[in-house]
Amino acid sequence: MTADNTFIAGFLESFHSYYGNKAMFMIAVVSCLYLIITTRRERRRLVFPMLFILVAILNPVFYRLTTEHGIYWYWRFLWMFSETIISALAITRLIKAVEGVYLKPVFFTAFCVLIIMCGSYAFRTSAFSKARSLEKLRIGTADICDMILEVDKTPHVVMCYIHASDARQYDGDITLYFDRYSYEVNSPHNTHEGKMCWELEQTSPDYDYVFSTAALDGFNFIVSYGNRPVAPGLAESYGYRNIGGTAGVDIWYNQTVIEAE
Amino acid sequence: MLTANNIIIAVLIMGLVPLFIGAGVCRILRLRKTVSAFYAVGMFSVWALAQLLIVPCIFMQTSFQFACMFYLAVLLICSLAGIAALVFMVMQPEESEDKKKQKGWKKAEVVIIHILMAGVVGFVIYNTAVLQHTDADDATYVVNAVDMLRTDTMFRTMVTGEYTDNMLQFIKYLVAPWSFFGAFAAFFSGIKVTVLFHTVFPQVMILLVTAVYYELGTSFFMKSAVYRPVFVIFAWMFNLFGCASIYSSETFLMMRSWQGKAVVAGIGIPMMILIFIEMYADIEKTELFLLLAVVNCSMCFMSGVGLALSCIMTGSYAVIYSLLFKKPKMLLYFGAALLPNAVYGAFYLSLL
A130 contacts: CB under 8 Å, gap ≥ 6: B130, B131, B132
Per-residue confidence at A4, pLDDT binned at 50, 70, 90? low
- What is the largest distance, in Å, between two alpha-carbon atoms of chain B? 64
Q: Find the residue in B nearest to A66 (Cα).
A: B308
Q: Is B30 left (phi over 0), alpha (psi -120 to 50) or beta?
A: left
Q: What pLDDT, on a 0 to 100 scale, did the predictor assign at position A261? A: 47
**Which of B127, B231, B316 lies at the smallest CB-CB distance from A89?**
B231
Count the neighbouring beta carbons within 10 Å of the beta carbon of residue A217: 17
Per-residue confidence at A235, pLDDT binned at 50, 70, 90? very high
Which residues face A237 on adjacent strands? none
Contact A122 B255 (CB under 8 A): yes
Amino acid in position B67? A
Q: What average pLDDT does the segment B132-144 reach?
A: 89
Q: What pLDDT, on a 0 to 100 scale, did the predictor assign at position B80? A: 97
Which residues face B103 on adjacent strands? B224
Q: What percentage of residues in chain B have a pLDDT greater than 70?
A: 96
Q: How far apart are CA B209 and CA B39, in angstroms?
A: 10
Structural contact between residues A123 and B206, judged by C-beta atoms closer than 8 angstroms: no
Higher pLDDT, residue A198 or B127? B127
Count of CB pairs separated by less than 8 Å, A with B: 234
Q: Is the pLDDT of residue B266 over 80?
A: yes
Contact A179 B277 (CB under 8 A): no
The DSSP H or E segment spanning B28 is helix B17-28
Q: Is the pLDDT of residue B12 over 90?
A: yes
Contact B161 A49 (CB under 8 A): no
Q: Find the residue in B nearest to A42 (Cα).
A: B220
Higher pLDDT, residue B329 or A26? A26
Q: Is B319 on the interface with A (CB under 8 A)?
A: yes
Q: What percentage of residues in chain A have a pLDDT greater than 70?
A: 94
| ipTM, interface predicted TM-score of the complex | 0.93
Q: Is B220 on the interface with A (CB under 8 A)?
A: yes
Q: What pLDDT, on a 0 to 100 scale, did the predictor assign at position A1? A: 46
Q: What are phi and psi of B314, to 5 degrees?
A: -60, -45
Please tell me the total number of residues recorded for chain B in this structure.
352
Contact A96 B224 (CB under 8 A): yes
Please say whether the dihedral angle defined by the alpha carbons of residues B95, B98, B100 and B102, taken in this order, is positive or negative. Answer: negative
User: Mean pLDDT across chain A, nearest whole number?
Assistant: 89
The DSSP H or E segment spanning B25 is helix B17-28
**Which of B129, B138, B250 lies at the smallest CB-CB distance from A84?**
B250
Contact A172 B150 (CB under 8 A): yes
B283 contacts: CB under 8 Å, gap ≥ 6: B321, B325, B327, B330
Q: What is the pTM of this model?
A: 0.93
Contact A73 B317 (CB under 8 A): no
Per-residue confidence at A258, pLDDT binned at 50, 70, 90? low
What is the tens place of the pLDDT at every residue in B174-231? 999 999 999 999 999 999 999 999 999 999 999 999 999 999 999 999 988 899 999 9
Q: What average pLDDT does the segment A239-261 reach?
A: 85
Higher pLDDT, residue A188 or B268? B268
Contact B146 A129 (CB under 8 A): no
Q: Nearest-CA distance from B9 to chain A in Å?
A: 18
